[in-house]
Amino acid sequence: MKLAIVHKEKCKPTLCGRECKKYCPVEKKEPDSCVVIGLVDAGPSVKKGTGVLSSSGKCVIDENTCVGCAICVKRCPFEAIDIVNLPSVSEKDIVHRYGANGFALYGLPVPKEGSVLGLLGRNGIGKSTAVKILAGTEKLNLGKTEASDEDIKEFFKGNEILRYFEGLSGKKVSYKPQNLSVLSLDVGVMDLLLQRGGEADIKRLAEVLGVSQVLGNRMNKLSGGELQRVAILAASLGESDIYFFDEPLAFLDIGERLRVSDFLKEISKNKTLIVVEHDLLILDYLTDYVNVFFGGQGAFGLVSGVKSSKVGVNAYLDGFLKEENMRIRDKALKFDFTRNAMMSGHKIATWPDFSLKFDTGFELDVKGGVIHENHVIGILGKNGTGKTTFVKALAGELETSLGKLDLKLDISYKKQYLFSEDETMVRDICFKEKISKRLKSTFNLGVLEGKKLKNLSGGELQRFEVARCLARDADVYLIDEPSAYLDVEERISVAKAIKDIMVERGKTAFVVDHDLLVISYLADSIINFGGVGGVRGEAGKVVLFEEGVSELLRSLDVTLRKDKESGRPRINKRGSVLDREQKETGKWAVF
């Protein structure tokens, strides 16, 4: 099958020479038979003479007459077109499509009662679409303008998913969305939650999730982590039969992620629970099964058969789905952990013991440390214990008990929260700040160059700002939460880039992140932060990686081991044989 994808937000017929139509070989033989500008069809493809005038005036490509030459892809100045050949599927296999030349989804995961199903894959590949369809908030169309119930029954005849859809109307469904901005309202937390359940249940679940202290607050005054846990609480109220949680771990620290995971596993008993998540370490810990999503970002998505969590995650990292006989990536994602000793590089600076106090009452005490070349220091700890404050102090942005610190080094700082109203084009910033071709390739910035900074999505802005930080000539790189908004592959790519650049340039990086897999990939040593969130923070000394991770895991009462097949870290199930053995020998982390 041939798919012609037109990214409507990129297509600008009034600003280009209509190269897609001008250079199309089919159009040269018979005008308006393949590329039509100003006409759209209600169905999945355009047929000559069936179009209607479009107010958007965007390009539409007839997939029936397109020969797949991809000349339009190369000629389009705004990179708005993708031509995809799919030999393994046909048009009749489409489960859902967003209009003519829109994103197409092939297949759906099949939820299982009494278990947690994880959906694993890149951003823009159909996971959230599948969740909406399974939750009943979006009706599948089978690639047509509209699909009747009879069409759907015939399409899924003999498939287990048909029984799921037939029973969906009689079941109560709860859905925690990916985007939480719709919940950031000027209303009381308790007032909002009371619309979902009783006060006794709210207080009980708030205690379990650690958000009792915010029940008297307003929703728009909550931090990202607090808002996430309140959203999870809201979705968990009442006796639902099916639960959907779309990226429930964003903005949470490691301890909170484990707490939420244990909570979700508890409510999944005798229920059906589906989770979309990019933190591989926690996804593996939380789920019983996974479906792997693969395909072309923003173009099409395919769904693998159901796999056990370990097998599914390893197959995804390897890039080859054995049962489907499908290669989904050219190269495997490897976890070859190489650590540089703390004293391996030349000493370039030190920071002294210092403290900070804020009007809010928060206090942070920091122990002194040494900075060596060719080294990456991972910073771990609870939310609200001062990790970002510490990084800002090293950057000389905050007044400490010793005044503003001056390490006498050139520092490049990537902030935690990214927000921009800048009208500047990404292309112009790349040229002005001399971002190299290698960095642009590593962080896939080529597709962003035609966009303004203010129009970048969260993940796009994250990739751009990390690349921007690494492009600067500095002695020390301070990088705060580089994995936020990124999918699995982007996280590993970013971690590898940071590690490689520090080694090649002989530089130093401090990296704050809550994804322990990312920290495991790049860190040589660790600083752990303890204390009480929002009240008091304590920064420990710089310690060896294994020692630092073991200290953190001991405080969380979990153990970690290295997977024999992929080399990735895996959390042991609590109370398992491996968990008990490692605790008895004092080896909380085995790499």
Tell me the percentage of the chain whose pLDDT exceeds 90.
59
Amino acid letter, 89: V
- What is the tens place of the pLDDT at every residue in 103-136? 999 999 999 888 999 999 998 899 989 999 999 8
Give the pLDDT of residue 92. 77
Beta bridge partners of 40: 52
Mean per-residue pLDDT for 438-443?
91
The per-residue pLDDT for range 313-333, each reduced to its tens digit, is 999 999 999 998 888 888 888
Residue 441 has pLDDT above 80, yes or no: yes
Average pLDDT, the chain: 89
| 578: nearest Cα among 277, 285, 275 | 285
Q: C-alpha distances in angstroms, 224 versus 181, 192, 220, 465?
A: 10, 17, 10, 20
Q: What is the dihedral of CA 456, 486, 380, 530, to 10 degrees?
A: 70
Contact 154, 347 (CB under 8 A): no
Structure token digits, residue 188: 């009381």
Give the chain's domains with CATH numbers: 2-85 (3.30.70.20), 104-327 (3.40.50.300), 347-556 (3.40.50.300), 560-591 (no CATH)
Using CB atoms within 10 A of its CB, is residue 455 exposed (0-12), middle (13-18) or buried (19+)?
middle
CB atoms near residue 48 (< 10 Å):
16
82 close to 102: Cβ distance less than 8 angstroms: no
Q: How far apart are CA 289 and CA 276, in angstroms?
A: 12
What is the structure's pLDDT at 55?
A: 44
Rounded distance, CA 324 to CA 3, Å?
21
Angle at 172 between CA 278 and CA 111, to 5 degrees: 45
Q: Is the pLDDT of residue 513 over 50?
A: yes
Please check whether residue 498 is in contact with residue 378, taking contact to mean a CB–CB distance below 8 angstroms. no
Position 170 scores a pLDDT of: 84
Q: In this predicted model, what pLDDT tens digit does every residue of 242-289 receive, in sequence order? A: 999 999 998 899 999 999 999 999 999 889 999 999 999 999 999 999
Q: Give, as one character, the DSSP assignment of residue 560.
A: E
* Token duo for residue 26: 């089919």
d(CA 558, CA 456): 38
Give the residue among 531, 528, 556, 526 at the shortest CA–CA distance from 544: 526
Percent of the chain scoring above 70 in pLDDT? 96
**Section 523-528 average pLDDT:** 94
What values do phi and psi take at 301, rounded to 5? Answer: -135, 140
Q: How confident is the model at residue 343 (pLDDT cuts 50, 70, 90)?
A: low
Report pLDDT for 468.
94
Q: Collect all residues with Cβ–Cβ distance below 8 Å to 535 and sequence separation of at least 6.
A: 361, 362, 363, 384
Mean pLDDT of 345-353: 91
Residues 6+ apart with CB under 8 A from 461: 418, 420, 453, 485
Q: For 137-184, how does the pLDDT look when each residue is reduced to its tens digit (9 = 90+)?
A: 888 999 888 888 899 999 998 888 999 998 888 899 999 988 787 788
Tell me how far apart the terminal alpha carbons of the chain are, to the nearest angstrom: 45
Say what the pTM is.
Answer: 0.84
Tens digit of each residue's pLDDT (9 = 90 or more) over 444-479: 888 888 888 888 888 889 999 999 999 999 999 999
What stretch of H or E contains 307? strand 307-308
Angle of CA points 239, 245, 249, to nearest 5°: 125
Residue 133 CA to residue 94 CA, distance in Å, equals 13
d(CA 352, CA 511): 19
Is the Cβ–Cβ distance between 261 and 284 less than 8 Å? Answer: no
Give the H/E segment covering residue 35: strand 35-37
Q: pLDDT tens, 28-73?
A: 888 888 998 875 444 444 444 333 334 457 899 998 899 989 999 9
Q: Is 355 helix (H, G, I), strand (E, B) or coil?
A: strand
Q: How far is CA 544 from CA 365, 518, 520, 525, in A?
A: 21, 16, 12, 5
d(CA 259, CA 175): 19
Lowest mean pLDDT among 256-260, 297-301, 391-395: 297-301
Q: What is the 3-state secondary structure of 102-155?
A: CCEEECCCCCCCCEEEEEECCCCCCHHHHHHHHHCCCCCCCCCCCCCHHHHHHH
Cβ neighbours of residue 283 under 8 Å, at least 6 residues apart? 118, 120, 275, 277, 290, 309, 313
Q: Which residues contact 446 (CB under 8 A, 6 or more apart)?
A: 440
Q: Is there a contact between 275 and 119 (Cβ–Cβ < 8 Å)?
A: yes
Helix or strand or coil: residue 174? strand
- The reported pLDDT for the residue numbered 78 is 86
Give backbone dihedrals phi and psi of 532, rounded to 5 degrees, phi first. -115, 120
pLDDT value of position 392: 93
Detail the DSSP E strand segments found in 44-109.
Answer: 52-53, 59-61, 81-85, 94-97, 104-106
Tell me the per-residue pLDDT of 541-579, one tens digit each, with 9 for 90 and over. 999 999 999 999 999 999 999 888 888 899 998 889 999
What is the per-residue pLDDT for 56? 58
Spatial distance between the Cα atoms of 335 and 331, rounded to a whole number of angstroms: 13
pLDDT of residue 46: 43
